[in-house]
Amino acid sequence: MNGPDARGYFGEFGGRYVPEVLFEPLCRLEAAMRAAFADESFWAEYRVLLRDYVGRPSPLFEARNLTRATGGARIVIKREDCNHTGAHKINNTVGQGLLARRMGKTRLIAETGAGQHGVATATIGALFGLPVEVYMGAVDVQRQSLNVYLMRLLGAKVHEVRSGSQTLKDATNEAFRDWAGSVESTFYVIGSVVGAHPYPTMVREFARVIGDEARAQMLERYGKLPDYVVACVGGGSNAMGSFAAFLDDREVRLCGVEAAGLGLEVAGGHAASLTAGTVGVLHGARTFLLQNGEGQISATHSISAGLDYPGVGPEHAHLRSTGRAVYVGVDDDSAYDAFQALARLEGIVPALESAHAIAQARRLAAGLPEDSIVLVTCSGRGDKDALRFALSGAGTTA
């Protein structure tokens, strides 16, 4: 398992920047994680649940209509939207749920932006018989009402966070506060490759099934690896899961896609921390984040709630700094155009988060030869976003 150094750093990024009350629980979590990862019976149960409950492997789909409309390279989609609960998040919550049960924890908490991680955590709580409490910004509660209903239907308690920007950053702050006061009984199911060590490594290892499957599927179907692997990046779990299997394949170029929102030049109008941020500490790790000159976290914006976060996982920061991956921004309008294009050309309604990656995949494909392949991860389906547009009156034209 490739991973950080003994202190939890990927190069200069990562670490454990947490209050003293959380330092020892994180050490215990790391020990439990390493013991579980060394236990084949743990992985056997994980794989059975992915197969029988989540529905893996997820399909690899060549988007021929989208390719023809775009021109250039073939666009191939890894369909994480086909998973139970409709997104990649379930891969991670199955793993963390198993680890929580192994550690004897009796309660799960989570933070969520788009709500998919909250739904996935609530799902696993129902399956394992563990109570779940989810922290979600009040702004996101309004724009992702379908997922809020689903979490409550699954038995979870949803806390509306009304501090700060009332989005993912603030939900994460509240989840950390809860955990600091309940570490003996509570397992914090973090939804991305963010936070203090060992979370970035743990989440990556549960998410890497995306890339491992896609790599094997590419070789079986095409007899070669893709020229590009593209995925959207908020905190970065689906992207890190997609990239992990290809890190040693230097001929495969990796591209992460951030939310450029209203434009990178608009203060508070985007969430592109790798593209436009600076190095600092957020939620327990040293990474790239959006901050002002005094180190205060900046306001963010994205059409997609799941990308509306002012930081990014430390391994992504390391990949950017070493040049192994490149990161670009896609604005709201381009993401919405891709959202509509995939629906109309392929009959697939992607999450708005995923639509950012689809938009960038089309940009890349248009400039590549026809025998090239751009592999893009559709991290989730767009039911939540379609409902939002329908309720807002933002209809479509026939």
Q: CB–CB of 330/304 below 8 Å?
A: no
Q: Is residue 36 classed as helix, strand or coil in its secondary structure? A: helix
Q: CB–CB of 309/235 below 8 Å?
A: yes
Token code pair at residue 288:
């790239």
Q: CB–CB of 48/54 below 8 Å?
A: no
Q: Rounded distance, CA 82 to CA 167, Å?
A: 26
Q: Rounded distance, CA 280 to CA 282, Å?
A: 7
Token code pair at residue 380:
């989730």
Task: Check if 89 is active-site.
Answer: yes
Q: 78, 89, 105, 169: which one is catalytic?
A: 89
Residue type, 79: R
* Number of residues that this document lists for the chain: 398
Please work out, in degrees rounded to the nearest 5, the angle formed at the alpha carbon of residue 57 by the alpha carbons of 54 and 63. 115
**DSSP assignments along 110-149, one per residue:** EEESSSHHHHHHHHHHHHHT--EEEEEEHHHHHHTHHHHH
Task: Check if 379 is active-site.
Answer: yes
Residue type, 253: R
Under 8 Å CB-to-CB from 234, ≥6 apart: which residues?
Answer: 113, 168, 192, 258, 259, 271, 304, 306, 307, 308, 309, 312, 353
If residue 178 lies in a helix (H) or strand (E), which one and from where to where?
helix 168-180
Q: 30, 80, 111, 213: which one is catalytic?
A: 111
Distances (CA, A) of 292 to 106, 279, 280: 40, 11, 11
Q: 169, 346, 379, 384: which one is catalytic?
A: 379
Residue type, 50: L
**DSSP assignments along 258-282, one per residue:** EEEET-TTSTTS---HHHH-EEEEE
CA diameter of the chain: 58
Q: Which residues are identified as catalytic?
A: 89, 111, 379
